[in-house]
Amino acid sequence: MTSTEDALYDHLQHQVALFARRAEQTRMGGVGRQRNSMDRAAYLLLNRLELEGPVGVKALAESMGIDSSTVTRQVAPLVEGGLVDRVPNPEDGRAVLLDLSQEGRRRLSEVRESRRELMRLLVSDWPRDDQAEFDRLLTRFNEALSSYHRPTGMPES
């Protein structure tokens, strides 16, 4: 590698670190500002439940590329908070499925709208082509990260 390549990757990794920190600060509401926030794990779980409908813990964990015990731990406060319902499995009366509750749908929609408005605000002065290119490149970067961390045979989350 050349020193120019090293400098590029040094700058890129630094920008990714700044992005992660600032994204977390924004999610938490920033200094003195209250935002319509939701824990990242909760947001991703609720999104997945919206896409997949009633689903068991194991299937949900597999679709997200995480461990079942992690899903169980992360979904517990969502059930307690009324955002997720445990419903009987029609195929096995002893088992339960997780499903997005009406309150969960409402809250997810509210948070999604808040996040959409933030994205709109942050890139409002960018040309539309730049916005689309950023979306394309960030998606590609996330897919590369997912492939890097996903064990062979695991579905993409």
pTM of the predicted structure, to 2 decimals: 0.77
Domain that holds residue 52: 38-149
- On whether both 61 and 3 belong to a single domain, the answer is no
- On whether both 44 and 118 belong to a single domain, the answer is yes
State the Cα–Cα distance between residues 74 and 87, nearest whole angstrom.
17
Does the residue 154 lie in any domain?
no
Instruction: Quick: pLDDT tens for 29-86.
Output: 543 344 567 888 899 999 999 999 899 999 999 988 889 999 999 999 999 999 999 9
**Tokens coding 113:** 């709208």
- On whether both 86 and 69 belong to a single domain, the answer is yes
Does the residue 157 lie in any domain?
no
Domain total in the chain: 2
Instruction: Quick: pLDDT tens for 103-138.
Output: 999 999 998 888 888 889 999 999 999 999 999 999
- CB of 125 closer than 8 Å to CB of 75: no
- On whether both 28 and 60 belong to a single domain, the answer is no
72-81: b or e for each residue (b if 16 or more CB lie within 10 Å)? eebbeebeee
**Tokens coding 109:** 């929609």
E strands, the chain, are: 84-89, 92-100
- On whether both 28 and 90 belong to a single domain, the answer is no
- On whether both 10 and 83 belong to a single domain, the answer is no
Note the pLDDT of residue 9.
Answer: 93
- On whether both 28 and 66 belong to a single domain, the answer is no
- CB of 83 closer than 8 Å to CB of 103: yes
